[in-house]
Structure 1
């Protein structure tokens, strides 16, 4: 919460998507990924001042080292790009992440964000040989270190979380502490220390509402069928309608039971546990240390 007499937190949201990808979000959901992310953080910490940068765009105005240091915290969104595809939309983001590490500004990344944090520090990301996680990452289990780490404070011994990804961290960089894993991805949550900076990230999407998940999966129906997640288009559409219904009425026990979802996903406050922990344990303390709070 924003305390009376304290200046608002100044946060940067780095949108990893191309212009076309952002337009798809706006068409289907009414907001870009960074705008939706900022709205989730605003719900946790009312009164924040947020900026958005678009490093996938050629000619984008990106903050330099001094600019990055001026922020209290930085959030990296997901992306439909693949970090192993060497193209300017990707390499610009890797260079920006390296600058974020060097700035020392607290940084958190979801999905593409943790992949960016990994590669910028010297790690490797590949298309997951275990396949895609669609809709939800199941049975995420904190490691022994993760059980005592503030990023996962409040999470149970196993939990599900919103997730949509094909790629995964294959070789974590030096300085990585793996905090959670599941049967699909070895690195579901991690802390990475590199070049004077500390990054916290997750392979899943605590910032995704069920409505946003449904809007993204609506563009993936052919893939859902081809990869065996749903039998046919009717089954896929029924699933998405159930997700939208749960988004509107999280108390629908019939739908929650049918899809194996519990309060870790359905309770809006519990879903964003990692985001709240990042604000409480990294952003606010660092802002105080820098004399900004």
Structure 2
């Protein structure tokens, strides 16, 4: 049996905002995905941004840590950020495998000496397009099974602007150099993606509605009504993907995004190539 600690990157306000458009928190989404990929996994949820958070299971008794996305900004600092940085630092110091998407990557890069801040090339809303491996990413197990180029769910303004010394950037695209990365700190190994392999399209749609003002400001939609229309199309495609080739064609969404098995490759690879071997060892 695997014991996985799932840390929600949001503070209380962020979790409530997320719940206002989704029927679960970011941590609950991740826990569901992890259990679907590893039926023998027990997920222990924690919200480390909270001052009164208590780990439901000691790090030394866990097989891995997973950190979700967040509405917070690493560069702004403060206790809600520091507490999460401390948790990831402690997990890596304990030799745990750590996985994170979006916010998780930014936290890991920061504690290892990199820099996360607003992406000067602009945000990604909905999908990160045409992601490609770097030379260092060729053959790396995190990206095993990915085609030469792929799209993935993504919603972010911030990103890793300067990767930590000694880290390995595994993938990028024209909007961002660091779309996937490996970071080693002591005996601990972090694998992560700036994009969200855990998100279904209905959750992407919900998060776009929350970010409607930013989508319009970025010039990606004329107004919030257009954001809602795009979100509606994503929701409908999620509900009946096989029956709506017209929507997939219109939105430019391929099987790498539509298929849960393909979309979640990095999470499965993390479990199969880092977590299980460590557990067996």
Q: TM-score, length-normalised on structure 2?
A: 0.97
Separation in 2, partners of 1:155, 1:55: 32
Separation in 2, partners of 1:127, 1:221: 18
Query: CA offset at residue 150 of structure 1?
Result: 0.3
Structure 1 position 46 matched with structure 2 position 39? yes
SS of 1:265's partner is: helix
1:256 alignment counterpart = 248
Aligned residues: 280
2:51 aligned residue (45, 58, 65) = 58
Maintained 8 Å contact 1:93/1:116: yes
SS of 2:76's partner is: coil
Q: Give the alignment of 1:161-172 within 5 angstroms.
A: 161-172=152-163
1:4 alignment counterpart = none
| Residue-by-residue CA offset, 1:215-253 (whole Å, 9 max, x unaligned) | 111112222222211112222111011000011011221
Separation in 2, partners of 1:199, 1:13: 14
2:122 aligned residue (123, 131, 147) = 131
1:5 alignment counterpart = none
| Residue-by-residue CA offset, 1:4-37 (whole Å, 9 max, x unaligned) | xxxx211000111011111122221111100011
Structure 1 position 120 matched with structure 2 position 111? yes
1:284 alignment counterpart = 276
Separation in 1, partners of 2:166, 2:89: 14
| Residue-by-residue CA offset, 1:75-121 (whole Å, 9 max, x unaligned) | 11000000000210001111111111101011111010011110111
SS of 2:121's partner is: coil
1:144 aligned residue (135, 155, 169) = 135
2:171 alignment counterpart = 180
Maintained 8 Å contact 1:175/1:194: no
Separation in 1, partners of 2:69, 2:151: 18
Unmatched 5+ residue regions in structure 1? Answer: 1-7
1:217 alignment counterpart = 208
Stretches of 4+ aligned residues off by more than 3 angstroms: none
Q: Give the alignment of 1:232-247 within 5 angstroms.
A: 232-247=223-238
Query: CA offset at residue 196 of structure 1?
Result: 2.0
| Residue-by-residue CA offset, 1:192-212 (whole Å, 9 max, x unaligned) | 111221110110000000011
Maintained 8 Å contact 2:49/2:84: yes
1:275 alignment counterpart = 267
Separation in 2, partners of 1:277, 1:75: 13
Separation in 1, partners of 2:224, 2:92: 44
2:198 alignment counterpart = 207
1:153 aligned residue (135, 144, 153) = 144
Q: TM-score, length-normalised on structure 1?
A: 0.93
Structure 1 stretch displaced more, 267-276 or 228-237: 228-237
RMSD: 1.2
